[in-house]
Structure 1
Amino acid sequence: MSIRATYQPQIDEFMSNLESFATGDYLNEDEKEFWDQPFDPKALPSLRTILERLFDAFDAIPDDPSGEQLKGTVTPFFTELEAFNRKNADAILEPEEKQELNELISQAAADTGADDEALGELPELD
């Protein structure tokens, strides 16, 4: 099974949680009186696309990649994620979401067969 297929359920859950947060569907009607939408949920399909392409990229690197290969794979996507978030007033990927993504990305990187030294070179979203 590909890395992307392995992590698709986690990506789906991550996106579902963001959708719920953006729409307030987790709130009762009486709790929405003073609630403000934190960001436009219409931005989320773009985020999903970036994340799915990132996890597809793990499938394209060779088994047992070097730290440089891992870094070269994720860095362009981190740049893209940061630009996406800036475009959306830094309201979608907050520290909690970045931490969750860092954990998923680290797990996916480990699934490539990278050793601990290579995994130590993996950058993180700030």
Structure 2
Amino acid sequence: MTYQEKRRHKRVGGDIAIAINDTETNLISEVKDISLSGISFKLTKTFAPMTKVAVTLLLPKFPGKTKKNKLDVVGIVVRSEPFKEDPTFFETAVFFHEMDKQDLKILNNYVSYMESKE
């Protein structure tokens, strides 16, 4: 029996900077992976599931990209667990709850480009 991916959207890596803003903290991290529906990254702070956070993504240059590289998204934390290799960090996953249509198009182009490199 083979493993079948259950996710709706393919996840890709890449050199993406991210800033997370909740009501009391501004955190900066690097992304583990990203898809059209969400993102996974490492933080020094944990969040409770269902916490609403503002996410700013800074995409690197890639072919076909518009001049805009900063995407602002509202997300919902779905998971935040101690990182196995270093428990002072938390592996955090956020579902994209609200995203501008133009930003979604840019993210789609980025994910498609990264998929083509794999």
TM-score (norm 2): 0.28
Ranked by relative contact order (alpha carbons within 8 Å, sequence separation 6 or more), the top structure is 1
* Rg larger in structure: 1
Report which of the two has the higher share of strand.
2
